[in-house]
Amino acid sequence: MPIIKSAIKRAKQTIKRRARNVGIKHDIKEASKAFVAKPSAKTLGATYSEIDTAVKKGLIKKNTAARRKSRLSKVAKNAGVKLASAKKETTKAAPKAEAKPATTKVAAKKIIAKPAVKKTVAKKPAVKKAAK
C-alpha cells in the first residue's frame, strides 16, 4: 500500500479508470454478441457506436476498431443486413425565412495584410590583398 499522498491518489484513480475501461469493453462484447446472435441494422449500429466510443476515449486503437467493424460488416453482408444511412430524408419542409445580411462587428473589421519582411544577410567584407 502506498504511503505518499500522491501515490494513494494515483492508486484510487487507477482503480476508477480500470473499472470504467472494463465496463466499456464489456459493452462492446455484449453489443457484438447481440449482433452475431440476431443480425439487424439496429444491433449493427449499436455495435459500431460502442466501438467508436471506445476509440474516442482512447481505449482501443483506430486500426483495431476498423478491423472489428470490418469483421462485423462481413457478417452483416452474409446475413443480408445493411446499415441505415445517417441522413434522414425530409419531405417538403416549410421554407426557411430569408436570412438577414450579417452586420456584425466581425464583418465590419478590415483585414490588414502585414508587409512581408525580407531577411537581409550581412555580407562579409572583401578581404584586401596585401601588396608585396
Sorted by where each begins, the domain ranges of the chain are 5-79
Other C-beta atoms closer than 10 Å to the C-beta of 88 total 6
Fold designation for 5-79: Methane Monooxygenase Hydroxylase; Chain G, domain 1 (1.20.58)
Residue that is written with C-alpha cell 482512447 in the block = 58
Nearest Cα residue to 71 out of 37, 36, 46: 36
pLDDT of amino acid 57:
93
Residue-wise pLDDT for 3-45, tens only, equals 999 999 999 999 999 999 999 999 999 999 999 999 999 999 9
pTM comes to 0.59
